[in-house]
Structure 1
Amino acid sequence: MGVVRWKSAVKYFPLAIVLMSCVVTALYLINNAASNVVTQENLVIFKESDNTISSCDFFSGKWVYDDVSYPLYKERECTIMEDSFACEKNGRKNLKYQNFRWQPHQCDLPRFNGTALLEKLRNKKLIFVGDSLGRNQWRSLLCLIEPYIPPLARRDGVLHNLYVKEYNVTIRAHWSPYLVESDRDDPKHHKADSKRTIRFQSIEKHGRNWINADVLIFDTFAWWTVPDITLLWGSLDKFDAIYKQVKISVREYEVALNSWSEWLEFQVDRNRTKIFFMSASPFRLGKTYWGTSPSCYNTTKPIFDETYWANGVDRNMMEIVESTIEKLEERGVKVEYMNITQLSGYREDAHPSIYRPFANFALRDITPEKYADCLHWCLPGVPDIWNQILYAYIMKS
C-alpha cells in the first residue's frame, strides 16, 4: 500500500512544481504592477506615463553630502581616466568633494545605469563637441559606463574615441573650442594664450565630423573670455586673408552661434539627431594660467548660498545662447538647453586646483596664484551630475 502511495506522489510531483511556479510568478507580477519602472537584466525602461523630466527642474536644487551612494565610480578603477582630472592621483588628500550628490528641489535624479544607456544608444554615435570642459564631461561619461562594457572595447586617446563593439556604439569627443573654425583647432597642440584668431562665419570644417551623429552635446564659453580676439575673413592658410583685431564682445559670440545654428538647421537630420547645449561651466576671472582666479585653492566645501553667482559667467552670453536656441526651435530644430551653470557654481571645492600634472614641477613648488586650475573639474565629481541629467534626457527621448 505504501508503495502505491509513493508512486502516486511521484506521478503528480511535476504538476505540483508547475503550479507552484505559476503562483510565484503571479505574486511577483502583482507586486510589481504599481511600479512605473521595469527592471529587466539591469536595464531600466521608463514608461510613457513617467513625466519626471517635463514636471521637474533638474537644475534647481542643492548639494547633499552622501558618502554611501557617491562617488558613482572610483578614480583609480577608471582605466579611461585622464591625468588632468585625476586629482587624487595628483596628490589631493581631502576627497570629500567626491561624496556630494545633487538633489533637485522637486524630484530625484534617476540612478545612472550604463547597460540601459548602451542599449538606448545601440547602433548610434554620441559626440561631445567643444572645448576641454566638453572633454571633461566625456571622460566622466566613459568612467560611468566602463563597468558595463567589455574590457577590450576599442578606444583611442588621441582621437578621443570609444567604440563598444557589442552595442555598435561610438562615444566621441571632438575638439572645437569656438565651434567655428579657429587657429586653436588642433586637439593636442593649442596654446591658451590670448592671441587667438577665429573665422566666426565658418563651421563646415568642424561640421563634417558631426553630421552623422545621433546625439550631439555642444559647449563653448571659456575660450571667449579673453579681452581681445582676431577675426579672419578668408582661409587661415591664405596670404590674402583679411584680419581684424577687436575687443571681445557678445557680438562675436552671437555671430559664431548664428553660424552654428544655421549649420544645424540645414545639415542635421532633425528626425534622427538629439541635440544638447551645455550652459557655461562657471569660474571666477583671474590671472592664473587658465584665466581664472585661484579662489578654489584649499577650498574643501561647496557653497550653500543659493544666490551665489560666479563672476566669470556673463549672463548676456547665456541669454544669447537661450535666444539662439529659441529661434532654432521656431525653425523646427529642437535643442535641449542644459543649464548646469548655477549648480556647478556652488562647487569651488571640486576643481583640480594645483592637483593636476605639471611636467617640470614638483607639487610643493607649484604656486596657486599662477597654476591653480579653477576651470576644470576633478573626477569623480561635478561632470558626473551633468551626465546623470543628460542620461535622464536621453533615456526619456
Structure 2
Amino acid sequence: MGTTIQHHRHHFLNIKRIVTYFLYALIPLALLHYFLFSLSTCHSPPPHPNNTVPPSPPSSQAGGGRVVVVEHGGQRCDYSDGRWVFEPRGPLYNGTSCSTIKDGQNCMAHGRPDTGYLRWRWQPAQCDLPAFDPSSFLRLIRNKHVAFVGDSMARNQAESLLCLLATSEPPDLVYRGSSSSNSSDGDGEGDGDGDSSSKFRRWVFPAHNATVSIFWSPFLVKAMEKQEARGVRHNRVFLDAFDERWTSSLGRTDAVVLSVGHWFLLPGIYRENDEIVGCHYCPELNHTDTGFFDVFRKAIRRALREVVDAEKEKVVAATTFSPAHFEGEWDKAGACPKKDPYREGEKVMQYMDNEMRRIVLEEVAAAAAAAGDGGVRFEALDVTKLAMMRPDGHPGPYMYANPFAGGGGGGEGEEMRVQNDCVHWCLPGPVDTFNEILLQLMMRGR
C-alpha cells in the first residue's frame, strides 16, 4: 500500500508541474491578446447625464465572437454590449400615428397604463448608437427590396421598421396573402395570430420605390407546422430541404433579415435524407431525442448557404435569439410584471439563450469567411443581451384591449388570470433598437 501511495504522490507532483508550466506559458499569450485588443477598441463616450449604471465588460466575448461595426468617424463599436439609459424624448411614433402595428403589439391602444417603457435608449459600452434616421434608411433602400424572413419575431421587427420609416413616408400595402406549400397556415398556432394572411405581406414606399416584405418561415427550412386543433402536436422539419416560400424570392431581394429561434423549442420531428434523424420533446414517440441546438445550427447554416447560392449582391443580417421574460404561468396577471429594464448584474444570460446566440454568431462568421469578397455581405445583428435586459417591453396582458375589464375572469380573492405575451415586443418598444443597429450594419462600408 505504501508503494501505491508513493506512486500516486509522484504522479500528482508530475501533474502539478505540468499545470504550472502551462499556466506560465499562457501569460505571454494573455498579454499579447490584451495589447492587440486595446489597439482595436475605442474610447468610452462621456457618461449620459441620466445614466447611473456603470458599464459592463463586453458580453460578446463569452458568446463566440465580437460584432464590430465601423462608424462614419472610423470608430469601432460592439453594439451588442451596453446598458439601457433613460431617454426623455420618447419614440418617433405611437399607436395612433402608425397604422401598421399588429393589434397584439399595440400596447398603448390596448390600455397599458404605464409609459416608462417608451423612454429608454441603448447605450453601447464603447461608443454611441445613433438614433434611427428614417430618411437615411429610405435613401439606402431606394429601388431596393428588404425581406424579413422567419417567425413572428421577424415580423415584429419588420413592423417596427415600417413604423419608423412611416414617420418620413407612409407605405402602401401591395400584397397580403398566405402560402400553403408546407404550412398549416390557417390555425396560426404558436404565433398567436389566427390570420394566415398576415404571414406574407409586402409594402412599397412609392417616393423611393423601396419595398419591405415579410416571409413566414419559422424554421427557415421546409417544415410542416403543428396543428393542435387537428391532433398534430409536432412540427415536422426537413433539414435538407429549402422553404421555397422565401428562397424563390431571393433573386428579387437586396437585403435579407433572418430571425428565428422560438419555434425550435416546440415539439418537433426532424428529417434528413428521407429519414427521421430525431426529435425534440416527443416521449410518446419511438425516436431519438436530439434536443434542438444542432437542429437550429443546421437550419441557420442551410439558410445562409442558400442566400449565397442566389447569385445576387445583397446584405444578409441574422438576428440573434431574443429571450422571453415569463415569470410563472402565462395566464397570470404577473407573468411579466416588471416596469423597468434590468440594471447591470441583475440578470445573467441563461445557458439556452447564450447557446442560441452563439450558434448564430458562429454560423454568420463561417458564412462570411466562405463568401470572401463575393457579392453577399453577412452581418450578425446581435440583440440577445439588450433584449434580455428589457423585461418591461412586452405586451404582457395588453396583447388584448382592456384585459382587466370585468375582472379578467378572476373571482374575489383569486389571482387575476389573463393571457400574457412575454415574448414579442410592444410597438413602440425595445425592438425599435434592433432596427437602429440594422441601419448601422447596412451603412457599413458605404
Q: Same fold (TM over 0.5)?
A: yes
Q: In structure 2, the residue corresponding to 1:355 is in which secondary structure?
A: helix
Q: Give the drift of 1:244.
A: 5.7
Indicate which of 139, 147, 155 corresponds to 1:135. 155
Q: Distance in 1 between matches of 2:264 and 2:416?
A: 23
- Residues 153-210 of structure 1 show CA distances to partners (whole Å, capped at 9, x for unaligned) of 7564733211112211101111111101112399xx999x952111121115131133
1:66 matches 2:84: no
The match for 2:256 is 216
Q: Distance in 2 between matches of 1:331 and 1:89?
A: 47
- Residues 195-229 of structure 1 show CA distances to partners (whole Å, capped at 9, x for unaligned) of 21111211151311333211111011111112x41
1:275 matches 2:289: no
Percent identity at matched positions?
Answer: 26
Indicate which of 57, 67, 73 corresponds to 1:50. 73
The match for 2:438 is 390
Could you say if the C-alpha distance between residues 203 and 287 of structure 1 is closer, same or farther in structure 2, counting changes exceeding 3 Å? farther
The match for 1:345 is 388
Could you say if the C-alpha distance between residues 100 and 119 of structure 1 is closer, same or farther in structure 2, counting changes exceeding 3 Å? same
The match for 1:229 is 268
Deviates more, 1:368-377 or 1:122-131: 368-377
Q: Give the drift of 1:320.
A: 2.3
The match for 2:113 is 93
Q: Distance in 2 between matches of 1:283 and 1:144?
A: 24
1:181 matches 2:236: no
User: Which residue identity lines up with residue 73 of structure 2 in the other structure?
Assistant: D
Q: Give the drift of 1:118.
A: 0.9
The match for 2:34 is none
Q: Give the drift of 1:261.
A: 2.8
Could you say if the C-alpha distance between residues 209 and 277 of structure 1 is closer, same or farther in structure 2, counting changes exceeding 3 Å? same
User: Which residue identity lines up with residue 295 of structure 2 in the other structure?
Assistant: E
User: Which residue identity lines up with residue 133 of structure 1 in the other structure?
Assistant: M
1:354 matches 2:393: no
Q: Distance in 1 between matches of 2:237 and 2:404?
A: 33
**Alpha-carbon contact 1:155-1:163 (below 8 Å) kept:** no
**Alpha-carbon contact 1:294-1:374 (below 8 Å) kept:** no
Q: Distance in 2 between matches of 1:219 and 1:368?
A: 33
Q: Give the drift of 1:323.
A: 2.2
Q: Distance in 1 between matches of 2:137 and 2:229?
A: 33
Q: Distance in 1 between matches of 2:148 and 2:251?
A: 13
**Alpha-carbon contact 1:229-1:245 (below 8 Å) kept:** yes
**Alpha-carbon contact 2:175-2:202 (below 8 Å) kept:** yes
Gapped regions of structure 1 (runs ≥ 5): 1-46, 236-240
Q: Distance in 1 between matches of 2:247 and 2:264?
A: 20
Q: Give the drift of 1:321.
A: 2.0
Q: Distance in 2 between matches of 1:392 and 1:275?
A: 13
User: Which residue identity lines up with residue 87 of structure 2 in the other structure?
Assistant: D
**Alpha-carbon contact 2:143-2:210 (below 8 Å) kept:** yes
Indicate which of 228, 234, 239 corresponds to 1:195. 234
The match for 2:363 is 324
**Alpha-carbon contact 1:153-1:165 (below 8 Å) kept:** no
**Alpha-carbon contact 2:396-2:420 (below 8 Å) kept:** yes
Could you say if the C-alpha distance between residues 73 and 219 of structure 1 is closer, same or farther in structure 2, counting changes exceeding 3 Å? same
- Residues 231-284 of structure 1 show CA distances to partners (whole Å, capped at 9, x for unaligned) of 24589xxxxx86964433322222222322321232242xx2011010000124
With normalisation by structure 2, the TM-score equals: 0.67
Indicate which of 94, 102, 112 corresponds to 2:122. 102
Could you say if the C-alpha distance between residues 190 and 89 of structure 1 is closer, same or farther in structure 2, counting changes exceeding 3 Å? farther
